[in-house]
Structure 1
Amino acid sequence: MAWPLDQGEDAELLLAVAYAFPPHPARKLGVAVSGGGDSVALLHLTVRACRHQGVPVQAVTVDHRLRPGSADEARMVAALCATLDIPHHTLTWDHGPVAGNLMDAARQARSALIAGWAIKQGVTHVALGHTADDQAESFLMALSRASGLDGLVGLRRNWKGEGIDWGRPLLDATRAGLRAYLRRHGIAWVDDPTNEDPRFERVRARKAMAALAPLGIDATRIGQTLSHLQFAKWALDDMLRKAIRDHVREVAGALRVDYAGFEGLPAEVQRQVLMAGLAWLSGKAPPPRTDKQFNLLNSAREGRDVTLHGCRLRVRPDHLLLTREPRALSGLVATPGGLWDRRWRVDGPTGGDMEIRALGSAGLQACPDWRATGLSRQVLEVTPGVWRGEALVAAPCAGFGTGWTAKTDPSFATFLLSH
C-alpha cells in the first residue's frame, strides 16, 4: 500500500501535510512552532512527511516576551527539534509598551520575524498550525463584527506574502484529533495560559463554541458552511479580478483606478477593489472594520479624500489614486536586497552603510529630474529611497541614481492571484 495510506490513523493528517503547497512544493520548508499542541503536532507530522519526500525542514519559534515562561517554551521546542534532528531557531520580539490591539500587533510582528528568518535561511515555504477549531472561532469573531463575505469564509489555506509561500495544512483537523495524535506518539506539548484569558476575543469565541455544541454547531459543521461560502467567494473573486484587470493600474507602488469604469461596477465589487488595494498597499490583516470600509467607499463615490489603514485615497476627476500614507512609513528601514514596507525590493551596488527608507519630500527635492517620470509628488514621496545617513544615494522610481532598481514583491497582480 502506498505511503501514507499505510500509516493507519495518521494517514489523513500526513496526506494533508504532504500536499499542503500545491502546485509548487517546498524546496525547503519551515514550520512555525509555539510549543502548543497544534504546532507541535504539525512539526512532527511535517518531519515525517518531508523525510519521505526528501524535503529539508527547519523549525522556528517566536518568543513574544509577553508573559513569564515563554522562553522556557521556546527551549522545550528546541529540545524536541534536537530529538527530531532538525535545525531550530528562536526569534525574539523586542518591543516596548504595545498600544492598541496587542494580539494583532503580536501577529504582525510574528509574521515579519518569521518571513525575515525564512529568507535568510533559504526557506521557501512556511507552515502554520491553525486548525478547524481556529477556523470556527474566526468565523464567530467575524460574525460578531458583522463582516462581509471576505471575513466569513475563514482563514486562508495558502497565500504568498513577504516573499514567502505560507500554508495552513491542518485547517481540516481538529484540536482534539491533533492531541490524540500526540498522545499516540508520546509527544508532550504546552498549554498557553492565555488560551483561558477571557480578555482576548478568541478565548471568548472558544467558550461560545462550547455553548453552541447542543445545537449541533461544532468546528466540523462550521467548516462545511465555510466551504459553501467559499463557492460564492470564488465567483465574486472572478468579478473582482476582471474589474481590476479592466480598470486598475499599478504605478510605482500606487494604484490608479479609472473612475468611469469604477462607477459602473456593482457596489460590492467596488468595495472589494478598494479592500484589495488596501491589503496590498498596507500588508495589514485583518481588513478595516465594516463601517470604515463603507466610509471609504462613500468617500470614493462622493469625491472626498480619506486616509485609512495606513493608506490614502485621493479622488481626481478621472481616477482614484491609492497610495501609502507618508506617516505610516515613518521609521520603516530595510537593508538593500531585503523587503521594505513588506512589498518593495530594492537592489543595487553592494557595500557601504546604506539603508532603505521612504523618499519623502526632502528626498524628492534631491531628485532634479523627477517630473520627467510623469509621476505625481504624492506617488513618489512614498516610494523607497536609498540613503547613507541623511544623504540620498538613489531613488529608482524618481529617476535618481544609477545601478539601482525598485520593484514591488509581490506586484499587485501577483498578490491578487495568491489571495
Structure 2
Amino acid sequence: MPLRLTQQVADAFLPHPPERVGVAVSGGGDSMALLHLMHQMCSLHNITLRAVTVDHGLRAGSDGEAQMVHRFCAGLGISHDTLHWQDWDGTGNLQNAARDARYRLMSEWARTHRIDTIALGHTADDQAETVLMRLARQSGVDGLAAMAARKTRAGLTWVRPLLGASREDLRGHLRDSGITWAEDPSNEDLSYDRIKVRKALEVLAPLGIGVQGLAAVASSMAEARSALDWQTFTAARDAAVVDAGAVVICERKLRIMPVEIQRRLLVHAIGWISGAKYPPRRGAIANLMTALRDGQAGTLDGCHVCRAQGKVWIFRELNAVRDVAAPHDALWDGRWRVSPADAQEDTEDTTLRALGPDGLLQVPDWRATGRPHAMLLSTPAVWKGDRLVAAPLAAMGQKWHAHVDGGEEAFFAALLSH
C-alpha cells in the first residue's frame, strides 16, 4: 500500500518537479498522510517542501491541531507556518467563506515564500461525494468532472495527488507508519450537506454505487470536459476575435456550432470579461441564447451581449462599471491598464472611469471605430474631474493607450486552463 501511494504522489509531480512545493495540512488523516508522503518524495528528489495550516478559529481545539502539525513537521525538518482567518463578518455561507479565505491566505503565503505549487489532500472519497452533490444540483459535464487533479488558481498550481486513493488507504498508511492524526468533529455533523452525502454513500454502496465507481465517473467526465474545451478552443479561434476587450463572434459561425459549444463559448466570454468567480447558471445562459436567436440583446453577470452587423458582441455592461474609479496607474475594473504614451504626460489629478454617455458625447468620431455605442460606454477613459482627457478605445486622445491586463490572447489560452 505505501509504495502504491508513494507512486501516486510521485506521478503527480515527476518527471519535472518544481524546485519548491507547499503542502496544505489541517491535521486530519488525509492531509497528514499527504504530508508524510510528500516528505518522502521531496527528500528523494531534492525538492524543498514547506507546510502550511490554516486555522479558521471556528471551533475549540483547532489551535491544538495546528500545534500538532507543527511538532510533526519539526520532527521531519519541514518548515511549517500557521495562518489565521479572523475577518469573517458573520454573513453568507460559512463553508464557502472559509474555503475562499483558505485559498486566499495560502496564495499569499505561497507568494511570500516563492512557492508556485501547493499540494492538497483530497481523496477518492472527496471526489465521490462531490459527484453526488453535483448530481443533486443537476450539473452537466463540468460539474460531474468534480475536482481536477491539477488546476491553476490565483497564479498558482494546485495539485491533488491522492484523488485515486481512499480515506482508508491513507489511514492504513498512517497506522503502518505510526503517525497520529486529528479527527474533526464536524465530520459527524449532519447539518452539512457533504456529511449527509457521506452517510448516503454507505447506503448506496450495496447497490454498486461506491467511492471508486463515482470517482471513475468523475474521471470520465473530466476527459469529456477536456475534449469539449478543445473543441470550444478551436471554434473560438475560427469564429471569434477580441476587439478592445470585447469578444466578437461571427454570428453565422456561432449558429452552426453544436449547442453545447455555443454555450461554452458564451459562458467563457462572459466569465473572462466579468471576472466572475463562478459561471452563470445553465438556465440563465439558455435564456440568453434564446434571446440571441430571436434577434434580441441581453445582459448577464455584468456583461452586455448584442448583435451588430452579423456579429455577436460581448462586452462589459455600463451599469457594472458606472461607479468604478481608480488612479490612472492602477488596474481598472480588474482588467484594464491605461497609460500615457509619453512618460512626461501630465497625469496629475487624473482618474480612470467609464466613458459613459456624457463622455461619449465629447467624442465626435467614435463611429469611426466600428464599435457599438453601448460597448464604448463601458470602456475605460481618463478624466480630470468632470473633464474628459482621453478615451483611447473610442478614438480620442492618441497620447493614451489602453490594453487588457495579461493580453487579449489570455481569452483563448484560458479555454484550455482546466
Query: TM-score normalised to the size of structure 1?
Result: 0.78
The answer on 1:114 being equivalent to 2:106 is yes
Q: Which residue of the partner structure matches residue 290 of structure 1? A: 282
Q: How many residues align?
A: 401
Residue number in structure 1 paired with 2:307:
316
> Superposed, which structure 2 residues align to 1:262-411 within 5 Å?
262-281=254-273, 287-308=279-300, 310-317=301-308, 318-323=310-315, 341=334, 359-360=353-354, 407-408=405-406, 411=410
- State whether residues 302 and 316 of structure 2, in contact with CA within 8 Å, keep that contact through their aligned partners in structure 1: yes
Q: Which position in structure 2 is the counterpart of 1:102?
A: 94
Q: Partner of 2:12 in structure 1?
A: 20
* Residues 1:184 and 2:176 are matched in the alignment: yes
SS of the counterpart of 2:181? coil
1:288 Cα offset (Å): 3.8
1-structure distance, mates of 2:120, 2:332: 21
Deviation at 1:188, TM superposition (A): 2.2
Change (3 A) 1:57 1:216: same
CA positional deviation for 1:385: 9.7
What amino acid sits opposite 1:417 in the alignment? L
Distance 2:245 2:118 in 1: 26
Q: Which amino acid aligns with 1:16?
A: Q
Report deviation, 1:243: 1.1
RMSD between superposed Cα atoms in Å = 4.2
How far did 1:235 drift? 3.2
Gaps of 5+ in 2: 344-350
How far did 1:261 drift?
Answer: 1.8
What one-letter code is carried by the residue in structure 2 that aligns with 1:408? Answer: G
* SS of match in other structure, 2:101: helix
**Does the alignment pair 1:418 with 2:413?**
no
* More off after superposition, 96-105 vs 53-62: 96-105
Give SS of 2:82's match: strand
Q: CA deviation at 1:93?
A: 3.1
Structure 1: where are the runs of 5+ without partners?
A: 1-8, 350-356
Letter in 1 for 2:166: T
Verify the 8 A CA contact 1:257 1:321 in the aligned structure 2.
yes
C-alpha distance after superposition, 1:212-259 (max 9, x if no partner)? 011122111112233333443343233212111112333455433332
Q: Please tell me whether residue 246 in structure 1 is matched to residue 245 in structure 2.
A: no
Classify the secondary structure of the residue corresponding to 1:60.
Answer: strand
Q: 1:418 to 1:211 in 2, by over 3 A?
A: same
Whether the 8 Å CA contact 2:291–2:298 is kept in 1: the answer is: yes
| 2:120 aligned partner, one-letter code | L
* Pair 194,311 (structure 1): closer, same or farther in 2 beyond 3 Å: farther
Distance of aligned partners of 1:411 and 1:179 in 2 relative to their CA distance in 1, 3 Å threshold? same
Question: Does structure 1 residue 259 correspond to structure 2 residue 251?
Answer: yes
For 1:406 and 1:373, locate their aligned partners in 2 and report how far apart those are by CA, in whole Å.
18
Query: Which residue of structure 2 aligns with residue 6 of structure 1?
Result: none
1:160-171 equivalence runs, <5 A: 160-171=152-163
Residues 1:18 and 1:93: Cα distance change in structure 2 (over 3 Å):
same
Deviations 1:265-324 (A, max 9, x none): 11111111123334444555654433233234334434454444x441321323334445
Determine the structure 2 residue equivalent to 1:5: none
Contact preservation (8 Å) 1:393, 1:401: no
Q: Hey, what does 2:138 align to over in structure 1? A: 146
- Cα distance between partner residues in 2 of 1:379 and 1:17: 48
Q: Residue 220 of structure 2 corresponds to which residue in structure 1? A: 228
Q: How far apart, in 2, do the equivalents of 1:99 and 1:416 lie?
A: 33
Please say which of residues 13-22 and 248-257 is displaced more in the overlay.
248-257
For residues 315 and 130 of structure 2, the distance between their equivalents in structure 1, rounded to whole angstroms, comes to: 29
Cα separation, partners in 2 of 1:87 and 1:151, compared to 1, 3 Å: same
2:118 maps to 126
Offset of residue 382 of structure 1: 7.1
Residue aligning to 2:54: 62
| Deviation per residue, 1:122-169 (Å, 9 max, x gap) | 112111111111111111111111111111122111122221112111
Corresponding residue number in structure 2 for 1:204:
196
Q: Distance in 2 between matches of 1:61 and 1:394?
A: 48
Q: Structure 1 residues 180, 385: closer, same or farther in 2, change over 3 A?
A: farther
